[in-house]
Amino acid sequence: MPELPEVELVVRSLRNKIVGRKILAAELLYRRLAPGHSPKDFAKTLQNAEITAVERRGKFILFKFVSENTLVTHLRMSGRFLLLRPDNETPKHSNAIFYFDDETRLVFNDQRHFGLMKIAKNGRLQELFSNLAPEPLGDEFTPEYLYRVMQTSRRSIKEFLLDQTKVCGLGNIYASEALFISKINPKTPANKISRKRVAPLHAAIRLVLSESIDHGSTLNVDPNNIESSYYGGEYEGHWRVYDQEGRRCQNCRAPVRRIVQGSRSTYYCPHCQRR
DNA sequence: ACTAAAGCCTGGCTGC
DNA sequence: TGCAGCCAGGCTTTAG
């Protein structure tokens, strides 16, 4: 599922391909993709919009235009952007289409209908993201920050790491991976982790995110690769513990365990990540 | 102010 | 082979 590295790769790739393009027409095919916009309003607001930038904030993708509007999108579970040529048919589960001035079109494809879009005035962006944690690869995200917000929560550290208002960008995969690297038991309450152990956790979070960006992620996020399924990115199979139940731990050879926390799977090594 | 759980979705898998 | 039922999970909303 797209987490920060996947979103970052989508953004980089789209940035190269569509900045400078003009949207001649926009079509909202699934109303619930953009709650708060009617298809008519959606089409009208984006008609003739010239794309000046594609940016990322947390797991959100932002399309900036010459106008004062920004199109904010979230891929959620299964959302993908596809760049189609005139001879490509629009695939199933396409929920929005943006027709460009060069005959190509950008499609938002999402089989599970979890994805979201919102058109916001630029002046409103700050408040839109006011609850989102600082960028985990940025300067504001320090071990001191992490320790401070960890003190505010008694939830398990695994569930804590998925809370985008505390730490943003991690999802179920990278949360397990970061805890494995920093040898922290996923069941430990966030506020029970000593100051001394926060620095390795902070470093592990940065490591798993930047490493995946550098290796091309585990998912197929190439908007030109319309044939391929969602899975099968270049970095597939490089998970240390995620989805490795029963396989041997890379460090100690103990079998990796799967538990359920907050109705989500957590994978960890019960030997390396002892309480 | 925090935490827990339900809800949104569909394709793929399991078991009968 | 068919089908009911479950599972996957990012995030919001509701309830406690």
Of A177, A178, A179, A185, the closest CA to residue A240 belongs to A177
Instruction: Convert the pLDDT of each residue in A231-266 to its tens digit.
Output: 444 455 678 999 888 889 999 999 999 898 888 889
pTM (two decimals): 0.93
Partners of A118 in beta bridges: A72
CB of A111 lies under 7 Å from some atom of strand C: no
pLDDT of residue A157: 94
Q: Report the share of chain A in percent with pLDDT over 70.
A: 93
Instruction: Convert the pLDDT of each residue in A193-202 to its tens digit.
Output: 999 999 999 9
CB of A112 lies under 7 Å from some atom of strand B: yes
Confidence of residue A5 (pLDDT cuts 50, 70, 90): very high
Residues near A251 by Cβ (< 8 Å), separated by ≥ 6? A269, A272
pLDDT of residue A126: 87
Cα–Cα distance for residue pair A202/A19, rounded to 1 Å: 34
Instruction: Convert the pLDDT of each residue in A21-50 to its tens digit.
Output: 999 999 999 999 998 899 999 999 999 999
Q: Give the phi and the psi of residue A107 in degrees, each rounded to 5.
A: -115, 135
For the record, the structure tokens of A233 come out as 């990115």
Active-site annotation holds for A40 = no
Q: Which residues 21-60 of A interface with strand B at a CB distance below 7 A?
A: 32
Element (H, E) at A63: strand A60-65
Of A75, A72, A55, the closest CA to residue A120 belongs to A72
Element (H, E) at A154: none
CB of A69 lies under 7 Å from some atom of strand C: no
Q: Which is the catalytic residue, given A3, A6, A8, A177? A: A3
